Amino acid sequence: MEEEKPHILSFKSQIFILVVLIMLTLMAVGVTKIDIGPFSLAAVLVIAAIQVYIVIAYHMHLKFETLFYRIMVVSLFILFVAVLFVTLSDYIFR
Amino acid sequence: MSQTDLASSEQSYLKVQTHKGIWNWLLTTDHKRIGLMYLYAIATFFVVGVILGLAMKLELIAPGKTVMTAQTYNSFFTLHGIIMIFLIVIPGLPAVFGNFFLPLLIGAKDVAFPKLNLLSWYFYMIGAAVALSSQFLSGHAPDTGWTFYAPYSFKVASNIVPAIIGAFILGFSSILTGLNFIVTMHRLRAPGMTWMKMPLFPWSLYGTAWIQLLATPILGITLLMVIAERVLKIGFFDPALGGDPILYQHLFWIYSHPAVYIMILPAMGVISEILPTFAQKSIFGYKAIVISTIAIAFVGYFVWGHHMFVAGMSGLSLYLFSLMTFLVAIPSAIKVFNWVATLYKGSIQLETPFYWAASFLFIFMIGGLSGLVVGSLATDVHVHDTHFVVAHFHYIVFGGVGFAFFAAIHYWFPKMFGKMYDSFWANVGWVFFFIGFNLLYGTMFYLGIMGMPRRYFDYVEKFHSGNVVSTIGSWIMVFGLVIVIANLIKAARYGPPASDNPWKGKTLEWTTATPPPLENFDIQPVVTKGPYDYN
Amino acid sequence: MSNLTAHAEHYDAKANKLGMWLFIFTEILLFGGLFIVYSIYRYLYSDAFHLAARELNLTIGTINSIILLFSSTTVSMAITSLQKGQNKLSGRLILATIVLGIIFLVNKYFEWGVKISHGLYPGSDVLAGFGFGDTLFFGLYFAMTGLHALHMIVGIGIWGFAYYFIMNGQTTQYKPSMIENSGLYWHLIDVIWIFLFALFYLIT
């Protein structure tokens, strides 16, 4: 009747995650102040991706869900990025 | 189980009273009643769409003005497209037969979220009303075509916004139905029914549901962007503000191509149900059909540019899209081979559903093969925006979804209504429909290759005789349609009672009463065998 | 007789969670369409985008980002406290989330107000005068942050319902779907903002 107990994220972990996310935000802002040329966009996006991963994996619990969910979410992002690149490639190669 | 439970569980769903009067329908959460409400709405809108089509063909019977002005012709083909695409073929099979039979086919009591199911129906009705209001509000009816291409769609002074908002609301209906079906199949399959024991119509609905879920939002946001363009001058598609009209086409077709798989996958699923029953033989290559279904759903996301071969895309995009288009044809072809192989050495029962399903194979093949002509760059340049394309998509969409829909209604009618229809008149209707359909659309292949443009109210004299044949074909086809529909309506009211399993089918819906009780099965079915076990 | 339909609807937390995730997917793709438009015009007008981004108020943007991160934390904590049976604490954390959300929206309101008063809004002559890149940057800015703000307003409304359900005992540690799924929705809004912040404020 009662399935496995749901995974509970502790208050301590949540505070820790908050601190990490704030630090990453400030880091991303900091990156824009220093001149690293063409890498600034990449750096900002990488930091954003890490933040998004943390929110999805921990706050949205994906790390503790079944494999099906992880496959679905990853497949969705892959599908979206693929559609994005196919569209963009029209403009790049015109 | 108490006496009242027993009595109510045996009562046909059509006799159960959950609310008073018309609220018994409008507030129902029973998937079967919801399926019927979709059926009645869709049938009504279909009649309107057919009348528009007939009017257009009548205009085209002779060059020059015949019965309407050019402006009227443009608004007619726009409305014909909006109704047929958004109100009939996209919702059609999932909303009617998916709703009615998905829970039955997987041995469940209802869908996962019955109240959400009713909400989907209301979104459908409200969306339809808002879209159709574009015809009656002050201002002109839209004349952009159902594709609403920029920049015309944001420049023209007509009721584009209500039409677009209607389509947006209809999108919600589609998304929520897809969501409901996915959760239903994940959570409510009968004990023992593993994924690979699930029948093929549910599998087709599963693939369809993912497309409904993942493609429709893109259309939603694109339509909002058109409204933003009209109202706020946001600039995304306006060259005067730096935007690109072709970007609209990209976004529009990123949804609208997968949408055709929303249309055809359930149709293929219906055929996969019907052929085993009327061959009294298991489906050939069950696993291959499942994999092909998933493959079509997935690969279908990457072919949208084949609607834009002459729009102005880059060379690389042209090659990529044409290649993917040829690849996506392969799983469909695999299914056709498997269907034919199912019939081979089967014990063929010549009944009405079989006639529709067998003719589906013929019509679908023509549609599919003509798709290779338009999917190939060199030939498409000549036939794009001609009647060849019109023929292609009517064969594959009307031919595919339409024949499958009529096959499905003739197959499942006894189960749904508890009555049997007159086979003789059903078959007569089918013959006229089949002949008329091929005259109507077959000639369009020829007209298109000869160069007759589509969406034109007029044409030059050399296309005249072809158009006469085509228009006469439309009359023969509609004559057949009237016979088919009248026969079914008569049967629903006055037909003789049907038995529980008139076709000797093996799937779960045939194991319960005709019509089914409210919660589908008196005892929860437990599944031990595959779905088409005719041995 | 109406018991018949009610009888069919038992509580299935797994179904509710799956349904919510599927809805999340549709939201990702809804914003995704705008991200596609952004990518195209970013590619075509990269210099103009780079310069236009400097017009945005990085300070307010950063503060708003941090506010949303805090609100995601209060949401997570609200779920944890509910799972531990601490319903009152859960309710208070939800109220805190609502307050943070409102502050975010107020900041946004002022931010937009400044832009509009400077003539930087879709359809303005000022914007047309700056050229295509600026027109599209600000068009996308208002469209995407606007759609995001709309989702936040809906989210705040949903938290209002969640608070009500927790306080009247309909949502509990044994039937947590309402708060868990509302949380998923809110975290998604945070995810979208993380990308919006990077792509509009940080491309200087």
pLDDT digits (tens, 9 = 90+) for B426-484: 999 999 999 999 999 999 999 999 999 999 999 999 999 999 999 999 999 999 999 99
User: Is the domain of A56 the same as that of A68?
Assistant: no
SS3 B419: strand
Which residue do the tokens 């000022």 mark? C126
Find the CB nearest A44 among C25, C184, C198: C198
Q: Are the C-beta atoms of B328 and B260 separated by less than 8 Å?
A: no
Residues B320-370 have pLDDT tens digits of 999 999 999 999 999 999 999 999 999 999 999 999 999 999 999 999 999
Binary contact (C30, B221; C-beta < 8 A): yes
User: How far is the CA of B182 from the CAs of B187, B210, B212, B227, C23, in angstroms?
Assistant: 9, 7, 10, 31, 11
Contact B375, B329 (CB under 8 A): yes
C135, C140, C151: best to mutate for the B interface, most B CBs within 10 A: C135
Residue A27 and residue A54 in one domain: yes
**B286-325 pLDDT per residue, tens:** 999 999 999 999 999 999 999 999 999 999 999 999 999 9
Do B263 and B401 meet the contact criterion of CB atoms below 8 Å apart?
yes
Q: How many CB pairs under 8 A join A and C?
A: 103
Full residue range of the structural domain in which residue B379 is found: 21-511
The predicted pLDDT at position B461 comes to: 96
pTM above 0.90, yes or no: yes
For the residues B141-154, what does the mean pLDDT come to? 95
Is residue B250 predicted with pLDDT exceeding 70? yes
In chain C, domain spans? 37-201
Establish if B527 belongs to a structural domain.
no
Chain C CB contacts of A72 under 8 Å are 21, 25
Q: B517 by DSSP, 3-state: which? A: strand
B476 and B432 Cβ atoms separated by less than 8 Å: yes
A2, part of any domain: no
Residues C34-48: tens digit of each pLDDT: 999 999 999 999 999
A14 and A55 share one domain: yes
Instruction: Give the Cα separation of B10 and C174 in Å (integer).
Output: 34
Q: Do C194 and A69 touch (CB under 8 A)?
A: no
Give Cα B300 distance to the centre of its chain.
Answer: 16
Interface touch A83/C36, C-beta < 8 Å: yes
A52 and A86 share one domain:
no
Give the span between the Cα atoms of C198 and C14, in whole angstroms: 34
Cα(B160)–Cα(B141) distance, integer angstroms = 8
Residue numbers of the domain that contains A17: 10-60
Residues of chain B in contact with residue A92, where contact means CB-CB under 8 angstroms, are 314
Distance from CA of B68 to the nearest CA of C (A): 38
Q: C interface mutation test: which of A25, A70, A86 has the most C CBs within 10 A?
A: A25
For chain A, the C-alpha Rg in angstroms (whole number) is 18
Q: What mean pLDDT do residues B137-148 have?
A: 94
Q: How many domains does chain A have?
A: 2
| Domain-embedded: residue A86 | yes
A23 and A56 inside one domain: yes
Pair A28, A54 in one domain: yes
What is the 8-class DSSP label of residue B453?
Answer: B
3-state secondary structure of C18: helix
Together in a domain, A80 and A48: no
A touches which chains (3+ CB pairs under 8 A)?
B, C
Residues A78 and A93 in one domain: yes
Do residues A41 and A69 both lie within one domain?
A: no
Q: What is the dihedral of CA B109, B110, B112, B114, to 10 degrees?
A: -140
Q: Is any Cβ of chain C less than 8 angstroms from the Cβ of B115?
A: yes
* pLDDT attached to residue A8: 87
Cβ-nearest to B241 among C132, C140, C143? C132
Give residue B6's pLDDT.
Answer: 45
> Is the pLDDT at B200 greater than 70, yes or no?
yes
Nearest to B317 among A82, A83, A90 (CB): A90
- CATH domain C37-201 topology: Four Helix Bundle (Hemerythrin (Met), subunit A) (1.20.120)
pLDDT tens, position by position, B210-226: 999 999 999 999 999 99
- Reported as a pLDDT band with limits 50, 70 and 90, residue B202 is very high
Compute the CA torsion angle B482, B484, B488, B494 (nearest 10 deg): 80
Please indicate, yes or no, whether residues A86 and A44 belong to a single structural domain of this protein. no
Average pLDDT across chain B, whole number: 95
Q: Do residues A50 and A70 both lie within one domain?
A: no
Q: What pLDDT does residue A9 have?
A: 86
Task: pLDDT tens for chain C, 204 residues: list them.
Answer: 333 444 445 889 999 999 999 999 999 999 999 999 999 999 999 999 999 999 999 999 999 999 999 999 999 999 999 999 999 999 999 999 999 999 999 999 999 999 999 999 998 888 888 889 999 999 999 999 999 999 999 999 999 999 999 999 999 999 999 999 999 999 999 999 999 999 999 988
Span B177-192, average pLDDT: 97
pLDDT for B5: 46
> In order along chain A (94 residues), what is the average pLDDT of each group of 10 residues?
67 95 95 83 92 96 94 96 96 93
Confidence band for B236, pLDDT divided at 50, 70 and 90: very high
Contact B507, B423 (CB under 8 A): no
Q: Please say if the pLDDT value at position B190 is more than 60.
A: yes
Q: Is residue A1 part of a domain?
A: no
Q: Is residue A4 part of a domain?
A: no
